[in-house]
A and B are shown apart, each in its own frame.
Chain A
Amino acid sequence: MSAKRMNLREKYQRMTRDLAWKPSYQSEDDIFPQAKYEGIIIHDWDKWEDPFRLTVDAYWKYQAEKERKLYAIIEAFAQNNAQLNVTDARYINSLKLFLTGVTPLEYAAHRGFAMSGRNFPGAGPQVSSQFQSIDELRHAQTQIHTISQYNKYFNGFHDWRHMHDRVWYLSVPKSFFDDAMSAGPFEFVTAISFSFEYVLTNLLFMPFMSGAAYNDDMATVTFGFSAQSDESRHMTLGLEVIKFMLEQDERNVPIVQKWIDKWFWRGYRLLALVSMMMDYMLPKRVMSWQEAWEMYFEENGGALFEDLARYGIRMPKYWEVSVKEKNRLSHEVWSIFYNYGHAAAIHTWLPDENEMAWLSEKYPETFDKYYRPRFDHWRKHHQEHGRWYNNTLPMLCQTCQIPMAFTEPDDPTQICYRSSEYKGMQYHFCSDGCKDIFDDEPEKFVQAWLPVHQIYQGNCGGASVPEVLEWYHLKHGQDNLEYLDSQDRANWLRWKGLTEQAEAVLQKAANE
């Protein structure tokens, strides 16, 4: 006689909640010491509803299937030498940025969710956090594995973990996650599951990964979408966490709103890197940053926050600044990288004529007016006097750690400077959003490890660019500088059978 098959709800109940127990010889407060200090009040953990009623057996089954599909493609990609079939070798630089900037965050998320799973007293969020922790480890592993194929053929992939802790612009993603992981469990999940994953990661994993497909990189699009399929569960967890906190006690509302404000702005500043990946680093473009922001934040995020209005939650503070910046963000950020391309683990370049035409079309109000003249000037300088690099280190924002090159919300010609004084010291910020975050937690943010300050204090291998590059484990003339004169480009031309052009590139690089 076979037992009656349980329905989904019963199965979920049996295999999550029913596996939990009430402690009898230790107090809950001792077992879960981080559960209360953030001020979030929870009356009944059993009210937690996990919308995906996923149990461990189903989790393994579907994750195994995803892995099989992914590894089939990774293998086919390697066997076909498909790294040679991507649109253009410039594209590879977006993968360098991904491996050094994003993959270590996946690993950090793996650790973060292991901690939140340990620290939440309820069985529902414990189970969701555990799944997510395992997911994030899978993302880190599959990304490292997939991108390792490129490491055999291109420069700059050799020591991404070391670089993540040291290279100036990688302190932007690193400090973002360190900030979240050093908060309590409720703030951590609000930061990562809700603000980052639910509201913002679609921008990275949808248009950028679709862009990878458009640039013929099937391996990357497959790990991207495979990761993002887990992300749907994470996003749902993020929304559930928010609704749960808001439903449990109205005193939670202002705390949650403050975290949403903080982490929207932190995440938005981090995505500035994605804006330049989309508009400048994909040789074939699917959509502009501005279009993606309209589709995924203004339209979709708008609908989400309207849903949350009944709990007393409003749109995150300064969201309207992000809308004002949407037609300049990518250009400002790419310009920073062009300035400091000699100290970066990627190559930089100026968009060619067709690409400039695309940028003019996508950004009719700003590109020709503000950015085309700048690029024309730099191109002329390169042709007549050699490639220009900025040898003065930039001032960094104390909060987001990005060089202070963003402009005033209402004036794209004026750099935005904000500052605060704390215990007799002055701190600088790129925006009102970053200043507010500092002002609310100054003791946390005065400790920020700012790469430029660290270089000037002598903590980064020396005072000159070559010494700092060595400390980064970057090889000068190989991993950095202009794409046009790079070994990557020379190799690419050679693989495409253009030997003479390849020799010319190497010759020119040797002369400079």
Chain B
Amino acid sequence: MSNNVFLALQNNEEARPLIEAIEQDNAEAIVRHFPAMVKIDCPGRLVVKRETVEALIGRDWDPQEIHVNLISLSGNVEEDDDSFALVRNR
């Protein structure tokens, strides 16, 4: 059975660098586009790193900002000052 976690974001200007950062830091992530929405699946673990996002947008970024454009998620949330991650506990 699937071991995927997923993150769904609104398909907008603010989410684009997040998606790019996710693709950079999660080699196995699969990005799928739906009307107004992007769903990103990844086996086992998916991480959004503050450092990667900041390098892309050229300003400070707090991982809690993800709440603004988040649509949905699946997996156990691990959040700290430097990253936002979703994991399966197997």
Contact = CB atoms under 8 A, between A and B. Distances in A.
B79 interface: yes
Interface string B58-87: 000000110111111110111111000000
Contact of B8 (A65, A206, A239, A302): A206
B8 to A, nearest CB: 6
Interface string A220-231: 010001001101
Most buried by B among A7, A213, A307: A307
A206 B79 contact: no
A69 to B, nearest CB: 7
A52 B90 contact: no
Nearest to B1: A302
Given A210-B37, A307-B88, A51 B71 contact: no
B4 A206 contact: no
B79 A52 contact: yes
Given A214-B35, A302-B1, A228 B71 contact: yes
Interface string A272-302: 0000000000000010000000000001101
Interface residues of B, number: 32
B11 to A, nearest CB: 9
Given A52-B77, A54-B64, A206 B72 contact: yes
A19 interface: no
Contacts of A307: 76, 88-90
A306 B8 CA distance: 21
B36 A51 contact: no
B74 A303 contact: yes
Contact of A231 (B3, B72, B76, B89): B72
A51 B8 CA distance: 18
Contacts of B69: 229
Contact of A8 (B39, B68, B81): B81
A232 B73 contact: yes
A58 interface: yes
A512 to B, nearest CB: 37
Given A225-B36, A306-B88, 20 more contacts: A51-B79, A54-B64, A62-B67, A66-B67, A205-B72, A206-B8, A207-B34, A209-B36, A210-B37, A213-B36, A221-B36, A225-B10, A235-B72, A235-B74, A239-B76, A300-B6, A303-B3, A303-B74, A306-B3, A307-B89
Interface of B: 1-6, 8, 10, 34-37, 39, 64-65, 67-74, 76-81, 88-90
Query: Would you list the 5 A-B pairs with minimal beta carbon distance, nearest first?
Result: A213-B36, A51-B77, A214-B35, A213-B35, A210-B34
16 contacts: A7-B80, A8-B80, A65-B68, A206-B8, A207-B34, A211-B35, A213-B35, A225-B10, A225-B71, A229-B69, A229-B70, A235-B73, A286-B35, A299-B2, A300-B4, A307-B89
